[in-house]
Structure 1
Amino acid sequence: MASSQALQGKTAAVTGAASGIGFASAKALADAGARVVLIDRDAAALDKACAAIGANALPLVMDLLDPAQCNRLLEHTLALLGQLDIFHANAGLYVGGDLLDTTPEAIDRMLNLNVNVVMKNVHNVLPHMIGRGTGDILVTSSLAAHFPTPWEPVYASSKWAIDCFVQTVRRQMFKHGIRVGSVSPGPVITSLLSDWPAEKLAEAKASGSLIEAAEVAEVLLFMLTRPRGMTIRDVVLMPTNFDL
């Protein structure tokens, strides 16, 4: 594990930070000494999250599905932090179940947030990091990016796309001193699981096949605290019982 102040003096921004993996990530970063901007569209939840983390947490209310707001992520973040060392693209939506039961509107919304917004956010922050000659970008992917999960074809497809994006951008950016990586957890205890098929969720709970968001955050912190010459390009983590 990283030391308690391993990120002292660093700055970070996390999207979808009011709950789940985003909140756990922001808390881990702040606990390690970083000043962190928590980005979410839910103002009340964001205030509660920042209060729980403490003085190193700063709220930024944004609806990333609004193109005008999305394009100003870096501008608003720099207004609060002055510079950006770490960007965690975490915000996402889940659509599970049979494809024929999914609406075109739900497909559009999920792909826009899970793929387009991630690409636009990374595109937005990269020039700043390139100018400074350093930076870390982390993306929340999923175990579904590595396996054609039959109960979530739309969601899994979005994560396959973003996994390709992470790995290709990483190869473009390392020459600028920027590391790009992703974390691919199996089922995590977050609000996204409320959309799982009821029988699959019950089965996962009964078999102990879920992990905590804080456990994902520990992996993110490990990735960030490696020597600059080392990139952890992707970590797949899952409950041990998930393969049963």
Structure 2
Amino acid sequence: MAATLEGKIAAVTGAASGIGLSATRALLEAGATVVMVDRDADALAALSGELGEKVIVQRTDLLDQQSCDAMVPEILEKAGQIDIMLCNAGSYIGGDLTQTNPAAIDRMLNLNVNAVIKNVHAVAPHMIARGAGDIIVTCSIAGHAAIHVEPVYSASKWAITSFVQTMRRQLMGHGVRVGQVSPGPVVSALLSDWEPERLQAMKDKGALMEPTEVADALIYMLTRPRNVTIRDMIVLPSNFDI
């Protein structure tokens, strides 16, 4: 891949695994410097050693209010600017609503919705002042379809779809592009909550994607001319049926 994002500073939440790690690798390949944001300090240290000098480590626990609030100021202190914010960190709850518990519901909604809103709230003034920037949120096909086997997760992603599309309209006059990528099922730790039979059946029929395929979509979105915004990109395994 040609170096199309040379000189850009990208911050990626949930960067130590899954889509976040694949996005980090793709951004580095495209020429960006990447601030890897994650709560797993050991994983960040190991990955920064592997990925090289264009990685900046940012240990943040998005479920901790003080840590979450400090994230953007700490990134700006380390990197000087943020050109790209990829709000990717998230969690998953599947199954019937009665099979989960209030604490798990709170945790998922706080991470999938509240942390995203707070991260965008924190970075927007910086991007507005600079008159440029890209904010992309990892959403889901569940933000477009009411998937009956994951009511809490789907609710969180519908909320994010609404938030992203309202913020796109608020920020478009400031030179800041806002969009989302909405993958179908991706092979990642998020699927650990799936019933084993369901997961195996999806694997057997080729209805799962690799995180790299979502990262490819993100790079496409970020490398469009500035007069073009990809407001949402739905990326599905070809054999996925909802």
What's the TM-score bracket when you normalise by the shorter of the two chains? over 0.9
Shift of 1:52: 3.0
Q: C-alpha separation between the residues in 1 aligned to 2:165 and 2:47? A: 31
Compute the displacement of 1:220 (Å).
0.1
Following superposition, which runs of at least 4 residues in structure 1 exceed 6 angstroms of deviation? Answer: none
Instruction: Specify the alignment match of 1:156 in structure 2.
Output: 154
Distance 1:123 1:36 in 2: 20
8 Å CA contact 1:19, 1:49 repeated in 2: no
Any gaps of 5 or more consecutive residues in structure 2? none
The whole-number CA distance in structure 2 between the counterparts of 1:173 and 1:156 is 26
Q: Which segment drifts farther, 63-72 or 125-134?
A: 63-72
Alignment length (residue pairs): 242
Identity %: 56
74, 77, 85: which one aligns with 1:76 = 74
The alpha-carbon deviation at position 55 of structure 1 amounts to 1.6
SS of match in other structure, 1:69: helix
Question: Which residue in the other structure is 2:20 paired with?
Answer: 22
Residue among 75, 88, 91 paired with 1:90: 88
Identify which of 94, 110, 116 aligns with 2:114: 116
1:149-228 alignment to 2 at 5 Å?
149-228=147-226
**CA displacement at 1:58 relative to structure 2:** 1.2
1:59 aligns with 2:60: no
1:78-102 C-alpha deviation (Å, 9 max, x unpaired):
1111111000000001111110011
Q: Which residue of structure 2 lines up, in the alignment, with residue 45 of structure 1?
A: 43
Q: 1:23·1:49 contact (CA, 8 Å) conserved in 2?
A: no
Paired residue secondary structure (2:221): helix
Letter in 1 for 2:170: Q
Following superposition, the deviation at residue 54 of structure 1 comes to 1.9
User: Secondary structure of the equivalent of 1:243?
Assistant: coil
Separation in 1, partners of 2:50, 2:161: 31
The match for 1:106 is 104
Of the three residues 123, 126, 147, the one matched with 1:125 is 123
